Structure 1
Amino acid sequence: MRVMVWNVWGRFGGNWREREESIAATLGTYRPDILGLVESWCGEGTDQPRRLAAARDLHAAWAPLSLPSVEYPDHPGIAIGLGLVSRWPILAAERHELPHEQRGGSTPYALLATIDHPRGPLHVIVAGTEWEARYAADHRAQCRSLAALAADQRLDGPLPVLLLADLNAGPGQEELTPLLDTMVDTWSEAGADPAAVTLDSALPYAPRDAVKQLDRRIDHVLARAGRPGSAVAVSGAFLAGDRPIEGVYPSDHYAVGVDMEP
């Protein structure tokens, strides 16, 4: 089972159509079975997960995320959110509110989906957490909330529980501690490069004000075993979207991919 997570940067940057073509081309190369999308867009009668899924006859879901809806004046009514693309049917999808006492305003959510995997229900959480340093308490609270959601016993079963997220924190940063106390970092489990980064300051789109996140691996595929005594089996991990396609980088983040035994 190939699992990927990618912050695809919505319609930002002024060249979203070209970037979406590069995103689709990258996914056509790597062909994930499960794909979590952060900062995917919705509007004009469709959404980005659905568009990406259609190219391979896959299944899709989308849910809102607490981010500004419009960055450019020619994008009225375009919302930013969380997406899921799946090889197998999505049986259910629900939103879970994340803490946001400091920031207030719009409510941030995580997307919890149940996928009809041949071996049983596969529970997948897609999320993006707070990134601004002034809302550090929200950031920590959101990571604790995601850890609690992933540990919920109602998600127990024959398959691992997956968290596909832009956690805005890299290895060694305190925000990840509650999650790593609950789940396995599949990148590390695969023995992949510990120096890998997903928010690269060398990218032309790199957010220069994201000082705490730049040049770190802040996008993660985390997993917990579905039952006590079972294990999370990982056979490899890789970055995707780290090369331009016809001169266009797909996003301001690289994607993380993991090959797992379900």
Structure 2
Amino acid sequence: MTTRVRVVTLNVWNSRGDAAARMAMVNAGLRRLDPDLVAFQEVLPDQLPGLLDGTGLHGTHQARTTATAPPHADRYGGTAIATRWPHRIAEVLDQRGTDAPDVPWLTLAALVPLPALGDVLFIAPTTSFRLDAEAQRERQVLALSDLDARHRTALPTVMAGDFNAEPESAGIRYLTGRQSLSGRSTHFHDAWEVAGSGPGHTWSADNPRAAEDIELLVRQPGHRRRIDYVFVGSPHAHPGAFARVRGAGLAFDEPVDGVWPSDHYGVVADLEVGLLTTARE
């Protein structure tokens, strides 16, 4: 028995720009894509119902999971997830610290029941955004692997979000098993690497919505990076199951009537999830 699972991640860009028009575009895109697991970043609590209207998805915003809002959350928003099947929050991880005080986005870890297969762990993080913050991101991805270890199920974990780091960075190399950090190692499959085509840039000077922040943070022409990801757990952590990446592409990467949905492009990945009937397939 296998189940097809479509995963989408998108940085919503809070309330900047033509927010109402952009939210309507994202909602229309979600209806068209018909995803099963969605990770949102930089979304305000009052935006989530409109984003999910008519999609049949069950949503949880970080604001519903904690009594105290992180600083700047009212301006920059937070993390939210949406799932085809009703989920339950397993843990909320606050990744702020003395070396990352300006990240108002919490990490949500949810258990989602897949039909006939059981629960899958779905993790929705955002890591530090500054170009000089790789040390912070290294600490944060180590915490993400600990979070996975605390709650993972037989089915491969799905993790999706805005990691603010290119594939060659230490944090992403750690997640994909290419290097160790602090004497530790792990392994997730990068869905784009398995099934995507082309560079897969998700934050690009080609998007006018990104131009202002690229000028603020980078100040170099033609800046383009792949920083948004869908990851799936490894057979090493899930020996009795699989999550084969059958497709990966960009989403929300074109304007409609001159309006761009966000300053990021989203990522959509199609997974085939199942349990092995024998020790080896």
TM class by smaller structure: 0.7 to 0.9
**Of 62, 66, 72, the match for 1:68:** 72
1:40 paired with 2:43, answer: yes
Aligned partners of 1:109 and 1:127 also within 8 Å: yes
Residue 143 of structure 1 pairs with residue 178 of structure 2: no
CA positional deviation for 1:106: 6.7
Aligned twin of 1:18: 21
- Mean CA deviation greater in 137-146 or 58-67: 58-67
Given that residues 163 and 227 in structure 2 are in contact (C-alpha distance below 8 angstroms), is that contact kept between their aligned partners in structure 1?
yes
Deviations 1:60-84 (A, max 9, x none): 111158562355xxxxxxx611111
- Assess, with a 3 A threshold, how the Cα gap between structure 1 residues 247 and 240 changes in structure 2: closer, same or farther: same
Q: Distance in 2 between matches of 1:214 and 1:61?
A: 33
Q: Deviations over 1:72-112 (max 9, x none)?
A: xxxxxxx6111111111113353112252213367652100
* 8 Å CA contact 1:234, 1:260 repeated in 2: yes
The residue type equivalent to 2:167 in the other structure is P
Contact 2:120–2:153 (CA under 8 A) maintained in structure 1: no
Deviation at 1:154, TM superposition (A): 3.6
Structure 2 residue 129 is matched with structure 1 residue 131: yes
Please, what TM-score do these two structures have when normalized by structure 1?
Answer: 0.86
For the structure 1 residues 67 and 167, does the alpha-carbon distance in structure 2 shift closer, same or farther, using more than 3 Å as the test? farther
Q: Give the corresponding residue for 1:205.
A: 209
Q: Point out where structure 1 has 5 or more consecutive residues left out of the alignment.
A: 72-78
Q: In structure 2, do the counterparts of structure 1 residues 188 and 204 end up closer, same or farther at CA, with 3 Å as the change threshold?
A: same
Secondary structure of 1:231's partner? strand
For 1:30, the aligned partner's letter is: L
Shift of 1:8: 0.8
Q: Does 1:162 align with 2:184?
A: no
Structure 1 match to 2:184: none
Letter of the 2:130 partner, please give it: E
Structure 2-normalised TM-score? 0.80
RMSD of the TM alignment (CA)?
2.3
Shift of 1:59: 0.7
Which residue, 150, 166, 173 being the options, matches 2:169? Answer: 173
**Is 2:11 aligned against 1:7?**
yes
1:253 maps to what in 2? 264
Deviation at 1:22, TM superposition (A): 1.0
Pairs aligned (count): 247
Contact 1:59–1:88 under 8 Å retained in 2: yes
Structure 1 position 187 matched with structure 2 position 192:
yes
Contact (CA 8 Å) 1:59, 1:90: kept in 2 or not?
yes
Larger radius of gyration: 2
Cα displacement (A) at 1:117:
1.6
CA distance in 2, matches of 1:105, 1:202: 27
Secondary structure at the counterpart of residue 209 of structure 2: coil
* Cα shift at 1:124: 0.4
**Per-residue deviation, 1:138:** 1.5
Contact 1:99/1:141 (<8 A) preserved: no
Query: 1:238 Cα deviation (Å)?
Result: 1.0
Any idea what SS the aligned residue of 2:44 has?
Answer: strand
User: Offset of 1:171 from its aligned partner?
Assistant: 1.4
**Unaligned stretches of 5+ residues in structure 2:** 64-68, 178-186, 274-281
Contact 2:90 2:151 in 1 (8 A): no
